[in-house]
Structure 1
C-alpha cells in the first residue's frame, strides 16, 4: 500500500513546469505605498534562486497572476520566467494553454497558490501546494501545505522539495 509520501513523490517526479501566483506566494501579500502613491512589493531572493535551480534541472517556470503591476513584469523578466501572464483571472485555462505550448499534460504541472482565485487551477494540476498562511479553502484542497508563509521563501521550499524528489532523475 502506498503511503502519502509515496504518492507525493510519484506526483513530483512527473513535474516539468512549476507555476506560481504572486501576491501571497512570492510576496507576503502586503502593499507598500510611497507618499507619491507608488506601490511597492517585497520579493524574497531565495525564491528566485529556487526558479534558477529548477531551470538548471530542465523544469520550466511560470507566473499567472490577476495583478497587472509593472513590478511583477520587471521581476519576472529579471528571473527569466518562461511563462509570465499578468491580469489573468482564469488561471486554469491559461495553464492549459501553456501545456499546449510546452506539449505537456496538466499532470506535469505543479502550482503554488494561496487564495480562492487559485482554486480552479489547483484542482487541475498534477501537484498543488500553498504557503502556510494561505486561506483555509485553499489549504483544505492542496496536495501539500508548506511550512513557510508567503513572501518568506515558500517558492524556494517548494522548489527544493521537487528537486529532492527528482534525485538523480532528469
Structure 2
C-alpha cells in the first residue's frame, strides 16, 4: 500500500483508538525460558510511555494477541489498556466487538501488527502500521512502516505520530 503524507495524515486525524498485537510489536518476538519452563519476555519502557501518553491525551488503547500468556495480560493491565483480548486468532472480529462497544467505526482505529495473523485486521482499520522487522506480506499491507523494530520503539513511534498530528490539528482549529 502506498500513501502520500497528506493521505496518511488524513487517516491519522480520524483515530480515536490505538490497538496492537503484543508479540513482535510490544516485544521483539523472542521468548526466554527459565530452567523450570517459565516464559519471560522483554518489553520496551519507551513503548509503555507511548501508551500512557495516548491515555493522557484521551485516546483509547488496547491489545489483541493470539498468545494467552499471563505476562501479556500483566503488561497490558500495567499500561491501563482499555481493551485486552488474548487467545484471539480472528482479530478482525474482535475489532468489530470493540467498535460496537465504543460506537466508533473501523476508520477510527489504528492497529500495529507484524505477522500474517494480523493481515485481516490491518486491512480493516483506518490506519495500519507495522514495525520495520514485520514480515514482508504485512509491510505491503500497511499505511505506515515504522523505522523502529518490534519491542524497540515501533509502538512509541506510532503513538508519537498520532499525538503529533492530533496536537497540530487541534492547534490549527484554535487559530
- Tell me if TM exceeds 0.5: yes
Q: How many angstroms does 1:65 deviate by?
A: 0.2
Per the normalisation by structure 1, the TM-score is 0.96
SS of aligned partner of 1:128: strand
What are the Cα deviations for residues 49-106 of structure 1, in whole angstroms up to 9, with x where unaligned? 1011111111100100000000011111111110000000010010110011111000
Q: How many angstroms does 1:153 deviate by?
A: 1.3
Residue equivalent to 2:17 = 17
The 5-angstrom pairing of residues 111-150 of structure 1 reads: 111-150=111-150
The 5-angstrom pairing of residues 11-160 of structure 1 reads: 11-160=11-160
Structure 1: runs of 5+ lacking an equivalent: none
Per the normalisation by structure 2, the TM-score is 0.94
Aligned partners of 1:6 and 1:72: how far apart in 2? 35
Q: How many angstroms does 1:15 deviate by?
A: 0.3
Q: How many angstroms does 1:134 deviate by?
A: 0.2
Aligned partners of 1:72 and 1:36: how far apart in 2? 19
Q: CA RMSD in A?
A: 1.1
Runs of 4+ in 1 over 2 A off after TM superposition: none
Aligned partners of 2:167 and 2:86: how far apart in 1? 33
Aligned partners of 1:125 and 1:151: how far apart in 2? 22
Aligned partners of 1:78 and 1:141: how far apart in 2? 30
